[in-house]
Each structure stands twice: as structure tokens, then as C-alpha cells.
Amino acid sequence: MRKSLIFLIFFVFGISLVSAFSNQIALGSIVSADDLSQINTNLNHVKDNYGISVEFVILNSSNSLTGESLQYFGIYHLDAGGAMKTWNLLVYYNVWQNQIKFVTYSRCGFELSKLEELKAEPFIQKVLSENSPSTEDLSAMFVGISKDIRSFADYYKPDESTCSQSSENGLVLRSNEYSVPNDVLRAIYSVTMNEKWELSNPAGMYVDQNYLPSSLFDFLGANSKKKQFENLLKEKTSFSDSQIKNYYSILTTPGNIVLEQNYDDSELFHERTHEIMTQVLSDSERQTLKNARAGFFDILDAHSDNSAALGPMAGFTAMSIRLGNWQELYAYMAQYQRYPQSETWQQYIDSSVYDLFRKNYPNAYAIYQKIYNLASD
């Protein structure tokens, strides 16, 4: 079971932004007044016509925001009213590092392929290829980005109705896979992880054992995990006794995968890999993966950049995997390989990780590919 660490995510995220944004500089200090006016005209057109708010964030810091990766990653964030932002697009440029990155708040909006095309534009590559790009080249880059974003929007004419929680691939739930109301998962995480009900926001779980055991003395008022679960749902929801009984059965049947009501295919795929590693792999295959994981962290650390929190794997991803059980490395690798749009600003696996793993652990990588293929079927 994966523990929800949403509070920690935002805590780490907040610290990172405070540190990074203290070195933020104005776009107008880099581009001319005429270019700034043109940029604003293009971005205002996109916002007024398609509801896509685009912001340029210019930093001058020796601390890289992205580690080795300059790819596109999804990021989720709440607006001032607590609602999930959907279309905002941020363009980060670090003057000190001479790095650029596109970050979107949504799984939809500008497609990954279009942002990759934009990053490959000559006016961007000219800047990134220079040790000290000129002011003229920087200005041309930002103007070019704003023009391309406007062209993309005018061509595809996106709107929020095209945004979907589900991926285009549309994985079909298997007989042991269930989608339940969010409060059901919130209840089991609150009981088993001591999470506060208001802060718990789990995406799903693979049931490898009964985490809500009953007690022989339940009828005498014993406070077993089962009773705590049932009482919490009775207190916090309007579920009937029969519904609670059904949800309890689903959550305590080993082999089941249980997902939040508005689950994403990437979350389902992640949990399927846990099922395969637990039920399908042989003991020798599992041991091969465990051994590879143990040595792989030393290799990753050796390839990290100068930032203690970043590197081939972002800080929070490394924390999730290092502190989680051995399966998390492979579950996240598979999830992010198939659904790169599910990666976040704080949590991603750089493409170099897969190459390092394949090179150093070919036998374990072959087992990993077996897991990936079985989860995809």
C-alpha cells in the first residue's frame, strides 16, 4: 500500500519555490520593450480565447530546478479557491544554468509531442547551445515561444471540455480491479496510516494482505481495525451498512486492486505492477530485482548533479522509492515509462535512469520488461 504524502509534497514544493523564486528576475530585464509587448500580446490572446494562462519564470540561480531533466512534466496545483488548476503553462528559464523547461498543471492541454517540438525549435536550441547567449538571442527565444504557443492554440483550439482524467489508451478494469468512492480509501488510510481524514487523499492500493483485521471480541466492543474502519465510514459518510460491508470485503481480499473513483490509468497501471511482482514473479526473479535495487541507488548517487535534492531522480521520487518497499522503484519506472504525463515537478524519473539500469542490470531489466508487458495486456 502506498501512503499518501500530499502534505509533505507541498511542504517540500513550498521550500523549493521559496529558495528558487528568491532569485527570480523580470522578463523585461532580458527582452526589449517592443519584444515584451509582443510577448504579452501573444499570451493575452491565448488566455482570452482559450483560457490558457502562460507565464514566463526567469531565474538566476546556481540551483537547478530540474536536475538533469529538461523534459515536459505534468504538475498539479490548487488555485486560491482550492480548485485544481487545469490549463496553466509555465515556461522556466534559468539564466545561470542556461536551461529551459515547460511545465503544465494538467494531464491534457498542450500535448507532450507539441512541447517537445517547441523545445527543438532553432531559436531555443541556439540559446541552449551557447555558454553565454546574447541578449538578442534570449529575446528572440521568448518571442518565438510566445508565437508558437499562440499558433498551437489557434490550430488546436483547446478548451476545458477536452480535458479528461483518463488516458487515451483506456485500460479496462479486470475482474479483481475496483473503483470505489474516495471516502472508502480515505477511511482505510486513516485507520492504517494514522492519517487525518481531512488530509488523506490516496489514489489507490494493491491489497497484498488484510490491513483491517477483525477481533474475536468485536461483539464486546473491541476496537479492531475492522471496527475502526466501519465506525469511521458511519461517522463521515452516508453509506449503508450493506455498502460498508461490501467495501470492507473488497479492501480485505488479497489480490484486489482498489482505486479512487476518478482514477487515472497511470495509477491503475502502477498498482498492476505491484500485483505482478507479488503474484506472478518467481522467488528468484523477485530476489534478482531486490538485489538490483540495492545496488542501483549507489549508481544513481554517483550520477547525480551538484544538487543534494535532485539528480537523475527528483528528490521526492527518490524519497518515495528509497523509503518504500523494493517494488516501488519498478512500479514507478513502469508507470512513468508508459505515462510520462503522470510525472510531476517534484516526482519524475529521468530517461537516463532507464539507460543506467539496463546497462548495469541486464537480467533485472529483462524481468522489469516482463512486468511492464504483463501490466499492459
What pLDDT, in 10s, does the model give residues 226-245?
999 999 999 999 999 999 99
CB atoms within 10 A of CB 99: 18
Q: In the chain, what are the domain boundaries?
A: 18-162, 177-260, 265-376
308 or 83, higher pLDDT: 83
As a whole number of angstroms, the distance between CA 308 and CA 314 comes to: 10
Minimum mean pLDDT range among 173-187, 228-242, 309-323, 330-344:
309-323
As a whole number of angstroms, the distance between CA 113 and CA 110 comes to: 8
Predicted TM-score (pTM) above 0.75? no
Indicate if the pLDDT at residue 87 is higher than 50. Answer: yes
Provide the pLDDT for residue 15.
Answer: 37
Burial class of residue 172, CB neighbours in 10 A (0-12, 13-18, 19+):
exposed
Cβ atoms of residues 282 and 201 within 8 Å: no
Provide the pLDDT for residue 195.
Answer: 81
What does the pLDDT look like over 101-130, one tens digit per residue?
777 655 455 665 677 788 889 999 999 999
Range 18-162 has CATH code 1.10.357 = no
As a whole number of angstroms, the distance between CA 69 and CA 16 comes to: 16
What single-letter amino acid sits at 65? L
